[in-house]
Amino acid sequence: MALSRKSQDTLVRNFFFLTALSSIVALALIMVYLFIEGMPIFGLVSVSDFLFGSFWYPTSDPPEFGILPLIVASLSVTALSSAIAIPLGVMTAIYLAEIASRRTRDIFKPVVELLAALPSVVIGFFGMVVMAPFLQETFDLATGLNLFNAAIMLAFMSVPTICSVSEDAIYAVPRELKEASLALGATHFETISKVVLPASLSGISTAVMLGMSRAIGETMVVLMVAGGAAMIPNSIFSPVRPMPSSIAAEMAEASFRGDHYRALFAIGIVLFLFTLVFNLIASHVAEKHKQVGAATL
């Protein structure tokens, strides 16, 4: 016997609820396991010494578990890559949504989105064999595997995300707003800067935060091109070791549930909290600008 419309609606609603719940439960279990494995290290070293210690020598005797160089490296690489990726991504999005012809947009938008599908190991390999020798020869450096190389490669990975999400947000601005601005005598540039961008600022802010979140959490690229030196950088050409690369490089050699193993999971907790903060900021900024934009319009 066929189900009634109400029963079908209830069935579909429960199915989607269980699907969403399974995602939340999986994330919660991962988070709980991360804290269970990482928190015991704080019985050996204080939280302040762990976060602000300047030396990371987990296999020495006695071991040093200071991750300040790793935190500074992650933030430095993320900041520099964002300084490169955000202008490129947003300006490319503006061009595709507001300036380029439809044919040009239909050609270049899939190409930009295809860049996001490139495996990170391929981008890291490019940074090792092409960009590193170029930087080393151009700037007369001891090594081309450094913070600047990692930032360029991460920017290359972040641009497609920022561009794609920003372009969708800009393209979604109602056509009536643009036509009204032009009808009042505004130029195309004035319409873009004073009408389109403020109206799409919520989506652009979200795109920027998503790009930065990807940069700070990326593992393979920074493992291959950042240089792997656990020290506080004194220039953009210093070799560094961000938090994700430390976890990837050392987890295989850490004894199971030893102090080194626990410290790596504690780094994972710090990285998780950084990513969580980025996403919370993105959500807050998007909601704030959405409300401001609605009130203005």
Q: CB atoms < 10 A from the CB of 117, how many?
A: 7
Full domain range(s) for residue 117: 47-296
Kindly state whether residues 219 and 86 are assigned to the same domain: yes
Lookup: tokens for 294: 């609605």
Kindly state whether residues 23 and 118 are assigned to the same domain: no
Kindly state whether residues 205 and 277 are assigned to the same domain: yes
Kindly state whether residues 187 and 290 are assigned to the same domain: yes
Kindly state whether residues 34 and 55 are assigned to the same domain: no
Q: CB atoms < 10 A from the CB of 127, how many?
A: 25
Kindly state whether residues 290 and 208 are assigned to the same domain: yes
The pTM for the full model equals 0.85
Number of compact structural domains in the chain: 2
Kindly state whether residues 192 and 234 are assigned to the same domain: yes
What is the C-alpha to C-alpha distance for residues 145 and 268, in angstroms, rounded to an integer? 24
Give the start-end residues of each E strand in the chain. Answer: 56-57, 64-65
Kindly state whether residues 26 and 104 are assigned to the same domain: no
Give the start-end residues of each E strand in 131-264. Answer: none
Q: Count how many Cα atoms sit within 13 Å of the Cα of residue 194 in the half-sphere of its side chain.
A: 11
Kindly state whether residues 170 and 204 are assigned to the same domain: yes
Kindly state whether residues 227 and 261 are assigned to the same domain: yes
What is the C-alpha to C-alpha distance for residues 25 and 39, in angstroms, rounded to an integer? 21
CA angle 257, 71, 155 (to 5 degrees): 115
Kindly state whether residues 71 and 210 are assigned to the same domain: yes
DSSP-assigned beta bridge partners for residue 240? 227
Kindly state whether residues 68 and 53 are assigned to the same domain: yes
What is the C-alpha to C-alpha distance for residues 240 and 143, in angstroms, rounded to an integer? 12
With b for 16 or more beta-carbon neighbours within 10 A and e for fewer, the 33-62 pattern comes to ebeebbeebbeebeeeebeebeebebeeee
- 66: domain CATH number is 1.10.3720.10
Q: What is the pLDDT along the chain (297 residues), one digit of tens a residue?
A: 456 777 888 888 999 999 999 989 998 999 999 999 999 999 999 999 999 999 999 988 889 999 999 999 999 999 999 999 999 999 999 998 888 888 888 888 888 888 888 888 999 999 999 999 999 999 999 889 999 999 999 998 899 889 988 988 888 888 888 888 888 888 888 898 888 988 888 888 888 888 888 888 888 899 999 998 889 999 999 999 999 999 988 988 888 889 999 999 999 999 999 888 877 877 777 677 664 455 545
